[in-house]
Chains A and B, each alone.
Chain A
Amino acid sequence: MTLFAIDWLLFIEKLSLIIIIIFASLGIALYMTYGERKIAAALQDRPGPNRAGPFGLFQPFADGLKLIMKEEIIPNHSNKALFILGPALAMTAALMTCAVVPWGDKVVLFGRTIALQIADINVGILYVFGVVSLGVYGIMIGGWASNNKFSLLAALRGASQAISYELAMGLSLIALLMLTGTLQLGEIVKQQQAPGHLWNIAYQPLGFLIFLVTAFAECNRTPFDLPEAENELNMGFHQEYSSMKLGFYLFSEYINMFISSVIMATLFFGGYDVPFLDESTLTPNIAAIVGIVALLIKVVCFIFFFMWVRWTIPRFRYDQLMNLGWKKLIPLALANMLITGAVILWLHK
Protein backbone atom coordinates (compact mmCIF):
# COMPACT_ATOMS: atom_id res chain seq x y z
CA MET A 1 0.00 0.00 0.00
CA THR A 2 2.23 2.74 -1.21
CA LEU A 3 0.78 6.02 -2.34
CA PHE A 4 2.76 9.18 -3.07
CA ALA A 5 5.82 7.10 -2.21
CA ILE A 6 4.66 6.84 1.40
CA ASP A 7 4.18 3.53 3.12
CA TRP A 8 0.77 4.29 4.60
CA LEU A 9 0.71 1.25 6.87
CA LEU A 10 3.96 2.38 8.43
CA PHE A 11 2.45 5.85 8.76
CA ILE A 12 -0.63 4.51 10.55
CA GLU A 13 1.50 2.23 12.69
CA LYS A 14 3.74 5.07 13.84
CA LEU A 15 0.79 7.42 14.32
CA SER A 16 -1.03 4.97 16.58
CA LEU A 17 2.20 4.34 18.46
CA ILE A 18 2.62 8.10 19.00
CA ILE A 19 -0.94 8.45 20.23
CA ILE A 20 -0.61 5.49 22.60
CA ILE A 21 2.69 6.71 24.00
CA ILE A 22 1.52 10.30 24.47
CA PHE A 23 -1.66 9.25 26.23
CA ALA A 24 0.21 6.70 28.31
CA SER A 25 2.72 9.37 29.37
CA LEU A 26 -0.11 11.73 30.27
CA GLY A 27 -1.90 9.04 32.23
CA ILE A 28 1.28 8.08 34.05
CA ALA A 29 2.00 11.72 34.85
CA LEU A 30 -1.57 12.08 36.13
CA TYR A 31 -1.11 9.23 38.52
CA MET A 32 2.36 10.41 39.47
CA THR A 33 0.70 13.38 41.17
CA TYR A 34 -1.33 10.90 43.18
CA GLY A 35 1.78 8.82 43.87
CA GLU A 36 3.66 11.90 44.94
CA ARG A 37 1.01 12.82 47.47
CA LYS A 38 0.69 9.28 48.75
CA ILE A 39 4.45 8.81 49.12
CA ALA A 40 4.84 12.22 50.74
CA ALA A 41 2.13 11.23 53.17
CA ALA A 42 3.66 7.83 53.90
CA LEU A 43 7.06 9.35 54.57
CA GLN A 44 5.46 11.78 56.98
CA ASP A 45 3.28 9.18 58.76
CA ARG A 46 0.06 10.46 57.16
CA PRO A 47 -2.50 8.50 55.12
CA GLY A 48 -2.58 10.95 52.19
CA PRO A 49 -5.56 11.59 49.90
CA ASN A 50 -8.19 8.92 50.56
CA ARG A 51 -11.59 10.56 50.04
CA ALA A 52 -12.06 10.69 46.26
CA GLY A 53 -12.87 7.12 45.28
CA PRO A 54 -11.34 3.98 46.80
CA PHE A 55 -7.96 4.85 48.36
CA GLY A 56 -8.36 8.32 46.85
CA LEU A 57 -7.71 6.92 43.37
CA PHE A 58 -9.87 9.59 41.66
CA GLN A 59 -7.92 12.38 43.32
CA PRO A 60 -5.91 13.28 40.16
CA PHE A 61 -9.17 13.76 38.23
CA ALA A 62 -10.57 15.93 41.00
CA ASP A 63 -7.37 18.01 40.94
CA GLY A 64 -7.50 18.27 37.16
CA LEU A 65 -11.15 19.33 37.26
CA LYS A 66 -10.31 21.94 39.85
CA LEU A 67 -7.52 23.36 37.66
CA ILE A 68 -9.78 23.49 34.61
CA MET A 69 -12.59 25.22 36.47
CA LYS A 70 -10.31 27.98 37.76
CA GLU A 71 -10.47 31.38 36.13
CA GLU A 72 -7.94 31.87 33.36
CA ILE A 73 -6.02 35.04 34.14
CA ILE A 74 -3.62 36.73 31.74
CA PRO A 75 -1.99 39.72 33.42
CA ASN A 76 -2.54 43.07 31.69
CA HIS A 77 1.12 43.93 31.39
CA SER A 78 2.27 40.56 30.22
CA ASN A 79 3.38 39.68 26.73
CA LYS A 80 0.29 37.72 25.80
CA ALA A 81 1.65 35.62 22.95
CA LEU A 82 4.72 34.58 24.92
CA PHE A 83 2.60 34.08 28.02
CA ILE A 84 0.63 31.39 26.21
CA LEU A 85 3.68 30.02 24.42
CA GLY A 86 5.53 29.31 27.69
CA PRO A 87 3.43 26.45 29.09
CA ALA A 88 2.79 25.10 25.59
CA LEU A 89 6.51 24.88 24.95
CA ALA A 90 7.20 23.28 28.32
CA MET A 91 4.58 20.63 27.62
CA THR A 92 5.68 19.99 24.03
CA ALA A 93 9.32 19.67 24.98
CA ALA A 94 8.43 17.28 27.77
CA LEU A 95 6.40 15.05 25.46
CA MET A 96 8.81 15.14 22.50
CA THR A 97 11.45 13.12 24.32
CA CYS A 98 9.28 9.99 24.23
CA ALA A 99 9.93 9.68 20.51
CA VAL A 100 13.35 8.06 20.69
CA VAL A 101 12.88 5.85 23.73
CA PRO A 102 12.70 2.12 23.01
CA TRP A 103 9.67 0.99 24.99
CA GLY A 104 10.07 -2.65 24.18
CA ASP A 105 11.23 -5.10 21.55
CA LYS A 106 9.26 -5.86 18.39
CA VAL A 107 5.69 -7.08 18.43
CA VAL A 108 4.04 -9.00 15.61
CA LEU A 109 0.56 -7.71 14.86
CA PHE A 110 -1.50 -8.58 11.73
CA GLY A 111 1.60 -10.12 10.18
CA ARG A 112 3.63 -6.96 10.58
CA THR A 113 6.63 -6.59 12.86
CA ILE A 114 6.26 -3.36 14.74
CA ALA A 115 9.19 -1.89 16.64
CA LEU A 116 7.98 -0.38 19.91
CA GLN A 117 9.91 2.79 19.32
CA ILE A 118 8.68 5.79 17.38
CA ALA A 119 12.04 6.62 15.82
CA ASP A 120 15.30 4.79 16.38
CA ILE A 121 17.43 7.64 15.15
CA ASN A 122 21.19 7.29 15.30
CA VAL A 123 21.58 10.50 17.31
CA GLY A 124 19.09 9.40 19.96
CA ILE A 125 20.88 10.77 23.01
CA LEU A 126 21.75 14.04 21.28
CA TYR A 127 18.10 14.41 20.37
CA VAL A 128 17.10 13.89 24.01
CA PHE A 129 19.60 16.51 25.09
CA GLY A 130 18.39 18.97 22.49
CA VAL A 131 14.75 18.58 23.47
CA VAL A 132 15.51 18.71 27.19
CA SER A 133 17.31 22.01 26.70
CA LEU A 134 14.25 23.29 24.82
CA GLY A 135 12.29 22.70 28.01
CA VAL A 136 14.26 25.50 29.63
CA TYR A 137 12.71 27.90 27.10
CA GLY A 138 9.32 27.06 28.53
CA ILE A 139 10.49 28.26 31.94
CA MET A 140 12.38 31.26 30.54
CA ILE A 141 9.57 32.47 28.30
CA GLY A 142 6.94 31.92 30.96
CA GLY A 143 8.95 33.80 33.56
CA TRP A 144 9.77 36.64 31.20
CA ALA A 145 6.30 37.06 29.74
CA SER A 146 4.66 37.25 33.18
CA ASN A 147 6.25 40.68 33.74
CA ASN A 148 6.76 39.85 37.39
CA LYS A 149 10.11 40.26 39.06
CA PHE A 150 9.80 37.05 41.06
CA SER A 151 8.92 35.05 37.98
CA LEU A 152 11.83 36.57 36.11
CA LEU A 153 14.26 35.81 38.93
CA ALA A 154 13.02 32.25 39.08
CA ALA A 155 13.30 31.88 35.33
CA LEU A 156 16.88 33.17 35.40
CA ARG A 157 17.72 30.74 38.15
CA GLY A 158 16.09 27.92 36.27
CA ALA A 159 17.99 28.69 33.10
CA SER A 160 21.38 29.03 34.78
CA GLN A 161 20.77 25.86 36.76
CA ALA A 162 19.79 23.91 33.68
CA ILE A 163 22.82 25.11 31.73
CA SER A 164 25.23 24.33 34.58
CA TYR A 165 23.91 20.86 35.13
CA GLU A 166 23.58 19.98 31.45
CA LEU A 167 27.37 20.24 31.21
CA ALA A 168 27.97 17.67 33.93
CA MET A 169 25.21 15.53 32.48
CA GLY A 170 26.78 15.56 29.02
CA LEU A 171 30.25 14.80 30.38
CA SER A 172 28.95 11.89 32.44
CA LEU A 173 27.31 10.48 29.34
CA ILE A 174 30.44 10.80 27.20
CA ALA A 175 32.07 8.13 29.36
CA LEU A 176 29.07 5.89 28.76
CA LEU A 177 29.13 6.58 25.04
CA MET A 178 32.79 5.61 24.87
CA LEU A 179 31.72 2.19 26.11
CA THR A 180 28.70 1.78 23.89
CA GLY A 181 30.15 3.39 20.81
CA THR A 182 26.71 4.48 19.66
CA LEU A 183 24.14 7.19 20.37
CA GLN A 184 21.25 5.02 19.25
CA LEU A 185 19.09 4.19 22.27
CA GLY A 186 17.73 0.97 20.78
CA GLU A 187 21.28 -0.21 20.13
CA ILE A 188 22.38 0.66 23.68
CA VAL A 189 19.58 -1.51 25.09
CA LYS A 190 20.47 -4.37 22.72
CA GLN A 191 24.09 -4.26 23.88
CA GLN A 192 23.03 -4.53 27.53
CA GLN A 193 20.68 -7.37 26.64
CA ALA A 194 23.42 -9.41 24.99
CA PRO A 195 24.48 -12.48 27.00
CA GLY A 196 27.62 -11.97 29.03
CA HIS A 197 27.17 -8.19 29.06
CA LEU A 198 26.09 -6.59 32.32
CA TRP A 199 23.93 -3.49 32.54
CA ASN A 200 25.84 -0.27 32.02
CA ILE A 201 25.49 0.64 35.70
CA ALA A 202 28.09 -2.06 36.42
CA TYR A 203 30.62 -0.34 34.13
CA GLN A 204 29.68 3.24 34.89
CA PRO A 205 28.60 3.57 38.55
CA LEU A 206 30.09 7.03 38.96
CA GLY A 207 28.70 8.14 35.62
CA PHE A 208 25.26 6.99 36.71
CA LEU A 209 25.53 8.82 40.01
CA ILE A 210 26.42 12.08 38.26
CA PHE A 211 23.67 11.54 35.70
CA LEU A 212 21.16 10.91 38.50
CA VAL A 213 22.06 14.11 40.34
CA THR A 214 21.96 16.18 37.18
CA ALA A 215 18.66 14.59 36.19
CA PHE A 216 17.20 15.89 39.44
CA ALA A 217 18.45 19.34 38.54
CA GLU A 218 17.10 19.12 34.98
CA CYS A 219 13.65 18.14 36.24
CA ASN A 220 13.67 20.99 38.78
CA ARG A 221 13.00 18.51 41.53
CA THR A 222 13.95 19.02 45.15
CA PRO A 223 16.75 19.53 46.22
CA PHE A 224 17.24 21.56 43.03
CA ASP A 225 13.80 23.16 42.77
CA LEU A 226 15.12 26.69 42.93
CA PRO A 227 12.90 27.97 40.09
CA GLU A 228 9.93 27.11 42.30
CA ALA A 229 11.28 28.21 45.65
CA GLU A 230 8.02 29.16 47.31
CA ASN A 231 9.51 30.86 50.32
CA GLU A 232 11.82 33.21 48.44
CA LEU A 233 10.07 33.67 45.10
CA ASN A 234 6.41 33.29 46.06
CA MET A 235 5.79 30.53 43.58
CA GLY A 236 8.60 30.78 41.10
CA PHE A 237 8.33 31.19 37.35
CA HIS A 238 4.66 30.22 37.16
CA GLN A 239 3.44 32.70 39.72
CA GLU A 240 1.19 34.61 37.32
CA TYR A 241 -0.24 31.48 35.78
CA SER A 242 -3.62 30.08 36.65
CA SER A 243 -6.01 27.41 35.50
CA MET A 244 -4.82 24.92 32.91
CA LYS A 245 -1.73 26.94 31.97
CA LEU A 246 -0.46 26.39 35.46
CA GLY A 247 -1.61 22.80 35.13
CA PHE A 248 0.51 22.43 31.98
CA TYR A 249 3.61 23.62 33.81
CA LEU A 250 3.04 21.30 36.75
CA PHE A 251 2.15 18.47 34.43
CA SER A 252 5.16 18.93 32.18
CA GLU A 253 7.32 18.65 35.26
CA TYR A 254 5.88 15.24 36.04
CA ILE A 255 6.26 14.14 32.44
CA ASN A 256 9.89 15.29 32.55
CA MET A 257 10.41 13.22 35.64
CA PHE A 258 8.83 10.21 33.94
CA ILE A 259 10.93 10.63 30.82
CA SER A 260 14.17 11.10 32.70
CA SER A 261 13.38 7.95 34.66
CA VAL A 262 12.87 6.14 31.36
CA ILE A 263 16.14 7.50 29.98
CA MET A 264 18.03 6.46 33.10
CA ALA A 265 16.51 2.99 32.97
CA THR A 266 17.37 2.74 29.28
CA LEU A 267 20.93 3.97 29.49
CA PHE A 268 22.06 2.36 32.73
CA PHE A 269 19.59 -0.34 33.72
CA GLY A 270 19.12 -2.28 30.51
CA GLY A 271 15.90 -0.62 29.31
CA TYR A 272 13.32 -3.32 28.64
CA ASP A 273 15.80 -6.08 29.46
CA VAL A 274 14.73 -8.57 32.12
CA PRO A 275 17.71 -9.82 34.11
CA PHE A 276 18.47 -13.59 34.04
CA LEU A 277 15.98 -14.17 31.24
CA ASP A 278 16.84 -15.05 27.68
CA GLU A 279 14.20 -13.20 25.68
CA SER A 280 14.87 -15.21 22.53
CA THR A 281 13.26 -18.31 24.10
CA LEU A 282 9.89 -16.52 24.29
CA THR A 283 7.57 -15.72 21.41
CA PRO A 284 8.18 -12.13 20.27
CA ASN A 285 4.85 -10.77 21.50
CA ILE A 286 5.21 -12.17 25.01
CA ALA A 287 8.85 -11.08 25.13
CA ALA A 288 7.73 -7.55 24.17
CA ILE A 289 5.06 -7.42 26.86
CA VAL A 290 7.46 -8.77 29.50
CA GLY A 291 9.98 -6.16 28.33
CA ILE A 292 7.51 -3.27 28.61
CA VAL A 293 6.49 -4.40 32.09
CA ALA A 294 10.16 -4.69 33.11
CA LEU A 295 10.86 -1.17 31.82
CA LEU A 296 7.82 0.21 33.64
CA ILE A 297 8.86 -1.45 36.90
CA LYS A 298 12.31 0.12 36.62
CA VAL A 299 10.69 3.48 35.87
CA VAL A 300 8.36 3.22 38.85
CA CYS A 301 11.36 2.49 41.08
CA PHE A 302 13.09 5.60 39.77
CA ILE A 303 9.98 7.72 40.24
CA PHE A 304 9.69 6.46 43.80
CA PHE A 305 13.32 7.40 44.28
CA PHE A 306 12.66 10.91 42.93
CA MET A 307 9.82 11.38 45.38
CA TRP A 308 11.67 9.79 48.25
CA VAL A 309 14.53 12.25 47.77
CA ARG A 310 12.11 15.14 47.50
CA TRP A 311 10.63 14.45 50.90
CA THR A 312 14.02 13.87 52.51
CA ILE A 313 16.32 16.73 51.60
CA PRO A 314 15.69 20.45 51.85
CA ARG A 315 16.40 22.75 48.92
CA PHE A 316 19.97 23.78 48.15
CA ARG A 317 20.96 27.38 48.44
CA TYR A 318 21.78 29.02 45.13
CA ASP A 319 25.54 29.22 45.78
CA GLN A 320 25.60 25.63 47.01
CA LEU A 321 23.84 24.61 43.83
CA MET A 322 26.38 26.36 41.63
CA ASN A 323 29.30 25.04 43.71
CA LEU A 324 28.01 21.52 43.45
CA GLY A 325 27.46 21.79 39.72
CA TRP A 326 30.65 23.53 38.62
CA LYS A 327 33.21 22.61 41.28
CA LYS A 328 32.15 19.11 42.21
CA LEU A 329 30.16 17.37 39.51
CA ILE A 330 32.03 18.64 36.45
CA PRO A 331 35.49 17.64 37.80
CA LEU A 332 34.06 14.30 38.87
CA ALA A 333 32.55 13.75 35.44
CA LEU A 334 35.84 14.71 33.77
CA ALA A 335 37.75 12.31 36.00
CA ASN A 336 35.24 9.59 35.23
CA MET A 337 35.68 10.26 31.52
CA LEU A 338 39.48 10.11 31.74
CA ILE A 339 39.46 6.90 33.78
CA THR A 340 37.00 5.25 31.43
CA GLY A 341 39.10 6.28 28.43
CA ALA A 342 42.28 4.98 30.06
CA VAL A 343 40.69 1.65 30.95
CA ILE A 344 39.33 1.22 27.42
CA LEU A 345 42.77 1.93 25.97
CA TRP A 346 44.43 -0.40 28.45
CA LEU A 347 42.08 -3.27 27.67
CA HIS A 348 42.42 -2.57 23.91
CA LYS A 349 38.71 -2.72 23.52
Chain B
Amino acid sequence: MQALTNRAKEVDRRQMTFLESIYLWNIFKGMIVTFKHLFKKRPTIQYPEQQRTFSPVFRGLHVLNRDEEGRERCTACGLCAVACPAEAITMEAAERLPGEENLYREEKYAARYEINMLRCIFCGLCEEACPKDAIYLSETFAPANYNRRGFVYGKQDLLIPNPKTEAPELAKAKGIH
Protein backbone atom coordinates (compact mmCIF):
# COMPACT_ATOMS: atom_id res chain seq x y z
CA MET B 1 0.00 0.00 0.00
CA GLN B 2 1.22 3.46 -0.85
CA ALA B 3 1.95 5.39 2.31
CA LEU B 4 0.59 8.92 2.50
CA THR B 5 3.62 10.30 4.28
CA ASN B 6 7.15 9.04 4.70
CA ARG B 7 6.72 8.97 8.48
CA ALA B 8 5.00 5.58 8.54
CA LYS B 9 7.02 2.77 10.12
CA GLU B 10 6.29 -0.86 9.61
CA VAL B 11 5.52 -2.71 12.83
CA ASP B 12 8.17 -5.22 13.82
CA ARG B 13 6.29 -8.44 14.45
CA ARG B 14 9.26 -10.71 15.05
CA GLN B 15 9.17 -12.92 18.13
CA MET B 16 11.00 -11.39 21.07
CA THR B 17 14.29 -12.99 22.01
CA PHE B 18 14.74 -14.20 25.59
CA LEU B 19 16.68 -11.09 26.59
CA GLU B 20 14.04 -8.83 25.06
CA SER B 21 11.26 -10.75 26.74
CA ILE B 22 12.55 -9.97 30.23
CA TYR B 23 12.16 -6.31 29.24
CA LEU B 24 15.11 -5.14 31.33
CA TRP B 25 16.95 -3.25 28.61
CA ASN B 26 13.84 -1.45 27.43
CA ILE B 27 12.85 -0.61 30.98
CA PHE B 28 16.33 0.78 31.53
CA LYS B 29 15.99 2.99 28.44
CA GLY B 30 12.63 4.23 29.66
CA MET B 31 14.06 5.01 33.07
CA ILE B 32 16.78 7.15 31.52
CA VAL B 33 14.05 9.17 29.82
CA THR B 34 12.15 9.73 33.06
CA PHE B 35 15.35 10.49 34.94
CA LYS B 36 16.12 13.33 32.53
CA HIS B 37 12.77 14.85 33.45
CA LEU B 38 13.97 15.28 37.04
CA PHE B 39 16.17 18.12 35.87
CA LYS B 40 13.76 19.81 33.50
CA LYS B 41 12.32 23.24 34.12
CA ARG B 42 8.81 23.05 35.53
CA PRO B 43 6.25 25.08 33.61
CA THR B 44 3.93 25.33 36.63
CA ILE B 45 2.52 28.72 37.58
CA GLN B 46 1.89 28.91 41.34
CA TYR B 47 -1.59 30.25 40.80
CA PRO B 48 -2.81 32.54 43.54
CA GLU B 49 0.64 34.07 44.05
CA GLN B 50 1.69 34.05 40.42
CA GLN B 51 -0.72 34.91 37.65
CA ARG B 52 -0.44 34.71 33.95
CA THR B 53 -1.14 38.07 32.29
CA PHE B 54 -4.01 38.10 29.85
CA SER B 55 -3.52 39.39 26.34
CA PRO B 56 -4.77 42.96 25.76
CA VAL B 57 -7.59 41.68 23.53
CA PHE B 58 -8.86 39.26 26.20
CA ARG B 59 -12.62 39.45 26.61
CA GLY B 60 -13.43 38.99 30.27
CA LEU B 61 -15.96 40.38 32.75
CA HIS B 62 -17.98 43.38 31.67
CA VAL B 63 -17.67 46.83 33.18
CA LEU B 64 -20.11 49.70 32.88
CA ASN B 65 -18.24 52.85 32.06
CA ARG B 66 -18.52 56.37 33.53
CA ASP B 67 -17.42 59.60 31.91
CA GLU B 68 -14.67 61.87 33.25
CA GLU B 69 -17.06 63.54 35.66
CA GLY B 70 -18.18 60.23 37.08
CA ARG B 71 -21.59 60.11 35.39
CA GLU B 72 -22.93 56.80 34.08
CA ARG B 73 -22.71 56.67 30.32
CA CYS B 74 -25.41 54.05 29.78
CA THR B 75 -28.70 55.41 28.47
CA ALA B 76 -30.54 52.08 28.53
CA CYS B 77 -31.06 52.05 24.77
CA GLY B 78 -31.04 48.25 24.78
CA LEU B 79 -28.76 47.80 21.78
CA CYS B 80 -26.42 45.60 23.77
CA ALA B 81 -29.29 43.37 24.83
CA VAL B 82 -30.40 43.11 21.20
CA ALA B 83 -26.88 42.36 20.02
CA CYS B 84 -26.34 39.71 22.69
CA PRO B 85 -26.54 36.26 21.03
CA ALA B 86 -26.86 34.53 24.39
CA GLU B 87 -29.58 36.86 25.70
CA ALA B 88 -27.64 37.45 28.84
CA ILE B 89 -28.42 41.14 29.29
CA THR B 90 -31.58 42.62 30.78
CA MET B 91 -32.22 46.22 31.71
CA GLU B 92 -34.89 48.60 32.87
CA ALA B 93 -34.82 52.22 31.80
CA ALA B 94 -35.75 55.18 33.97
CA GLU B 95 -35.93 58.94 33.46
CA ARG B 96 -33.39 61.21 35.08
CA LEU B 97 -34.99 63.46 37.65
CA PRO B 98 -33.91 67.04 38.22
CA GLY B 99 -30.92 67.11 40.54
CA GLU B 100 -29.48 63.83 39.25
CA GLU B 101 -27.39 65.46 36.50
CA ASN B 102 -24.20 64.56 38.37
CA LEU B 103 -25.21 60.87 38.34
CA TYR B 104 -26.37 60.20 34.82
CA ARG B 105 -25.01 61.74 31.65
CA GLU B 106 -28.25 61.84 29.66
CA GLU B 107 -31.96 62.14 30.37
CA LYS B 108 -32.54 58.41 30.33
CA TYR B 109 -30.55 55.90 32.33
CA ALA B 110 -30.59 52.21 33.28
CA ALA B 111 -32.29 51.77 36.62
CA ARG B 112 -31.55 48.05 36.53
CA TYR B 113 -28.83 46.49 34.39
CA GLU B 114 -28.08 42.81 34.76
CA ILE B 115 -25.79 40.42 32.95
CA ASN B 116 -26.10 36.72 33.60
CA MET B 117 -22.51 35.53 33.55
CA LEU B 118 -23.61 31.91 33.17
CA ARG B 119 -25.37 32.75 29.90
CA CYS B 120 -22.74 35.17 28.62
CA ILE B 121 -20.38 33.74 26.04
CA PHE B 122 -17.97 36.70 26.23
CA CYS B 123 -18.20 37.39 22.51
CA GLY B 124 -17.91 41.17 22.93
CA LEU B 125 -20.84 42.03 20.65
CA CYS B 126 -22.39 44.22 23.39
CA GLU B 127 -19.20 46.25 23.45
CA GLU B 128 -19.37 46.69 19.68
CA ALA B 129 -23.08 47.54 19.69
CA CYS B 130 -22.90 50.24 22.36
CA PRO B 131 -23.18 53.73 20.84
CA LYS B 132 -22.32 55.46 24.11
CA ASP B 133 -19.02 53.71 25.00
CA ALA B 134 -20.79 52.50 28.11
CA ILE B 135 -19.95 48.79 28.21
CA TYR B 136 -16.53 47.20 27.93
CA LEU B 137 -15.12 43.78 28.45
CA SER B 138 -12.29 43.81 31.00
CA GLU B 139 -9.31 41.49 31.47
CA THR B 140 -10.64 39.49 34.40
CA PHE B 141 -13.04 36.58 34.51
CA ALA B 142 -15.99 35.81 36.74
CA PRO B 143 -14.89 34.27 40.04
CA ALA B 144 -16.51 31.07 41.33
CA ASN B 145 -19.73 31.32 43.28
CA TYR B 146 -21.82 29.05 45.47
CA ASN B 147 -25.18 29.64 43.76
CA ARG B 148 -26.61 30.65 40.44
CA ARG B 149 -27.97 33.92 41.74
CA GLY B 150 -24.42 35.07 42.42
CA PHE B 151 -23.61 34.93 38.74
CA VAL B 152 -26.23 37.51 37.80
CA TYR B 153 -24.20 40.68 38.00
CA GLY B 154 -26.13 43.87 38.74
CA LYS B 155 -25.18 47.48 38.32
CA GLN B 156 -23.24 47.62 41.57
CA ASP B 157 -21.02 44.75 40.35
CA LEU B 158 -20.48 46.15 36.88
CA LEU B 159 -20.03 49.89 37.32
CA ILE B 160 -16.47 51.11 37.49
CA PRO B 161 -15.52 53.23 40.52
CA ASN B 162 -16.33 56.90 40.19
CA PRO B 163 -13.18 58.76 39.07
CA LYS B 164 -14.24 61.81 41.07
CA THR B 165 -15.08 60.29 44.41
CA GLU B 166 -13.33 56.90 44.32
CA ALA B 167 -10.12 57.68 42.43
CA PRO B 168 -7.87 55.24 44.38
CA GLU B 169 -10.27 52.34 43.80
CA LEU B 170 -10.40 53.14 40.11
CA ALA B 171 -6.61 53.22 39.88
CA LYS B 172 -6.48 49.88 41.66
CA ALA B 173 -9.08 48.35 39.35
CA LYS B 174 -7.10 49.54 36.34
CA GLY B 175 -3.96 48.00 37.80
CA ILE B 176 -2.16 51.31 38.29
CA HIS B 177 -0.54 51.47 41.72
Q: Show the binding face of A for B, using Cβ within 8 Å.
A: 42-47, 50, 209, 308-309, 311-313, 323-324, 328-329, 332
Contact = CB atoms under 8 A, between A and B. Distances in A.
B8 interface: no
30 contacts: A42-B37, A42-B38, A43-B35, A43-B37, A43-B38, A44-B37, A45-B40, A45-B41, A45-B42, A45-B43, A45-B44, A46-B42, A209-B24, A308-B31, A309-B27, A311-B34, A312-B27, A312-B30, A312-B33, A313-B27, A313-B30, A323-B21, A324-B21, A324-B22, A324-B23, A328-B18, A328-B21, A328-B22, A329-B22, A332-B22
A312 B35 CA distance: 9
Give the interface size class of chain B: 10 to 19
Interface in B51-98: none
Contacts of B38: 42-43
Contacts of B41: 45
Given A42-B38, A46-B44, 7 more contacts: A42-B37, A43-B35, A43-B38, A45-B43, A45-B44, A308-B31, A328-B22
Nearest to B35: A308
Contact of B34 (A43, A46, A323, A328): A43
B173 to A, nearest CB: 29
Contacts of B22: 324, 328-329, 332
Contacts of B35: 43, 308
A60 B58 CA distance: 40
A47 B44 contact: yes
Contacts of A46: 42, 44
A336 B40 CA distance: 40
A226 to B, nearest CB: 16
Interface of B: 18, 21-24, 27, 30-31, 33-35, 37-38, 40-44, 46
A309 B28 CA distance: 9
Interface of A is mostly: helix
Nearest to A332: B22
A185 to B, nearest CB: 27
A50 B40 CA distance: 18
A195 to B, nearest CB: 33
B34 A308 contact: yes
Nearest to A309: B31
Contacts of A323: 21
Nearest to A331: B18
Contacts of A328: 18, 21-22
Contacts of B27: 309, 312-313
B58 to A, nearest CB: 26
Contacts of A47: 42, 44, 46
B18 to A, nearest CB: 7
A45 B42 CA distance: 5
A209 B24 CA distance: 10
Contacts of B24: 209
A311 B34 CA distance: 8
Q: Which 4 A-B pairs have the closest CB atoms?
A: A312-B34, A43-B34, A312-B30, A328-B22
Contacts of A312: 27, 30-31, 33-34
B125 to A, nearest CB: 39
Contacts of A308: 31, 34-35
A328 B34 CA distance: 26
A94 to B, nearest CB: 26
B77 to A, nearest CB: 49
Contacts of B18: 328
B52 to A, nearest CB: 16
Contacts of A329: 22
Contacts of A209: 24
B115 to A, nearest CB: 34
A72 to B, nearest CB: 29
B108 to A, nearest CB: 51
A313 B113 CA distance: 57
B36 to A, nearest CB: 10
Nearest to A44: B37
Contacts of A50: 46
Nearest to A324: B22
B3 to A, nearest CB: 28
Contacts of B37: 42-45
A210 to B, nearest CB: 10
A116 to B, nearest CB: 33
A270 B24 CA distance: 24
A45 B35 CA distance: 11
B127 to A, nearest CB: 38
